[in-house]
Amino acid sequence: MAARPVVTRGVASKGVASKGFASKGLFIAGTDTGVGKTLIACAMLHGFAARGLRVAGMKPVAAGAVRRRGVWHHDDVMQLCAAANVDAALASVNPYCFAPAIAPHIAAQEAGTTIRMAVIQKSYLRLERNTDLVVVEGVGGLLVPLGGRLNAVDIPVRLDLPVVLVVGLRLGCLNHALLTVAALQARGLHLAGWIANRIDPAMARATENLQALRARIKAPLLGTIPYAQNPQSRRVARMLDIERLQQQLQRRPDTCD
Ligand SMILES: Nc1ncnc2c1ncn2[C@@H]1O[C@H](COP(=O)(O)OP(=O)(O)OP(=O)(O)O)[C@@H](O)[C@H]1O
Ligand SMILES: [Mg+2]
C-alpha cells in the first residue's frame, strides 16, 4: 500500500445542523470504470454544499496513485477533497491507496495488504461524525473484486448506504446498467436515482438508449449530463436534481426500486 500521510484538505465550513437524512451517506456506483463517478460525486458535493450542507467525499479504495515530492496523490481523492467543504483527514477520505492503476484486489495482493471492510467503515464513521452528508465513490464497476470474497458492492452494504448509479452512455451501457441495477437489487440496496452521462459524443442513438433505460430503471433520473471537452463539477452540479435526490435520501425505502 502506498504510504498515506494524514493531511487535511478543503475549506472549513461554519457548520449547519444535520438536515435529517435517513442516511448520512450516499454511494456513487458506476456502470464501469471511467464513466464519470468522480465528476458526479464532486458535482453532488458542490450541489449539497450550495444547499447549506456540510459535506465530505470518500474514496475507500483507490488504485493509480502517483508520488509527488514524497507524498502519494490520487486524482479522485484530490478532486473529492477539493469539492468538500469540511476538513477531513486524508486517511479517512482514502483508507486504501495503491500505486499501480490495476484491479484493487491485485494491487492489494502485490502490496501485501488485505482490504478490510472494518477499516473502511471506521474511516466512513469518522467522516460522518463531522458532516451532514458523505458522498462515497465506488471503485470501478459494482462487482469489482476487493480480495477474498469481498467486492465493491460490499461497501454500500456494510455502510448501509443508498446508491446513485452513474451510467456512462456508450455502446454496451444498456447491459451494464441493467446488470448493475440487478446486482443492487440482489443485495437489497436502495437505488436512490441514476445519472445519464454522455461520455461518448459520437454514440449512435443516444436518445433511444436513454429512453430504453428510463423505461427499465424505476428509480428517478437525476440528471442527463452532456459531453463536454473539459467538464467542470461545479457546472455539472447545476444539471443535477439535488432536491429530488435529497427527497429520496430522506424517504429511504427498504427495497431497491
Ligand atoms: N460528460 C462528460 N463529458 C466529457 N468528459 C467526461 C464526462 N464525464 C466524465 N468525463 C471524463 O471522463 C473521464 C473519467 O471520468 P471520471 O474520472 O469521473 O470517471 P470515474 O468513473 O470516476 O473513473 P474511475 O473508475 O477511474 O474512478 C475524466 O477525464 C472525465 O473528465
Ligand atoms: Mg473516479
**pTM score, whole prediction:** 0.92
218 is a catalytic site residue: no
What superfamily in CATH does domain 21-251 come from? P-loop containing nucleotide triphosphate hydrolases (3.40.50.300)
Residue 228 beta carbon below 6 angstroms from any ligand 1 atom: yes
Residue with cell 477539493: 82
> What is the enclosing helix (H) or strand (E) of 38?
helix 37-50
Q: What is the pLDDT of residues 119-134, one digit of tens each?
A: 999 999 999 999 999 9
Beta-strand runs (E) in the chain: 8-9, 25-30, 55-58, 61-63, 66-68, 71-73, 88-89, 96-98, 133-137, 145-147, 150-151, 163-168, 191-197, 221-225
Residue 70's pLDDT band, with cuts at 50, 70 and 90, is: confident
The separation between CA 11 and the C-alpha centre of its own chain, rounded to angstroms, equals 21
Q: Does the C-beta of 225 come closer than 6 Å to ligand 1?
A: yes
Tell me the pLDDT tens digit for each residue of 25-64.
999 999 999 999 999 999 999 999 999 999 999 999 999 9
Please identify, by atom number, the ligand 1 atom nearest to the C-alpha of residue 166: 21
33 lines ligand 1 (CB under 6 A): yes
Convert the pLDDT of each residue in 226-241 to its tens digit: 999 999 999 999 999 9
Catalytic: which of 19, 24, 37, 59? 59
d(CA 233, CA 24): 21
Mean pLDDT of 189-206: 98
Q: What residues contact 76, with CB distance under 8 A and at least 6 apart?
A: 38, 59, 62, 137
Name the DSSP letter for residue 108: H
Angle, in degrees to the nearest 10, between helices 206-216 and 173-186: 20
Mean residue pLDDT of the chain comes to 91
- Using an 8 Å Cβ cutoff, are 137 and 59 in contact? yes
C-alpha 72 to ligand 1 mean position (Å): 21
**Cα–Cα distance between 236 and 59 in angstroms, integer?**
20
Q: Could you tell me which residue, 5 or 142, shows the higher pLDDT?
A: 142
Q: Would you call 130 exposed, middle or buried from its count of C-beta atoms within 10 A (0-12, 13-18, 19+)? A: middle
pLDDT at residue 12, rounded to an integer: 30
226: DSSP letter: P
Domain ranges of the chain: 21-251
Give me 210's grid cell: 436513454
Residue 34 C-alpha to ligand 1 middle, in angstroms? 5
Ligand closest to the CA atom of residue 29: 1
Task: Answer whether 198 contacts ligand 1 (Cβ < 6 A).
Answer: yes
- Compute, in angstroms, the gap from residue 195 CA to the centroid of ligand 2: 15
Query: Do the Cβ atoms of 103 and 67 come closer than 8 Å?
Result: no
* Tally of CB atoms within 10 A around 157: 15
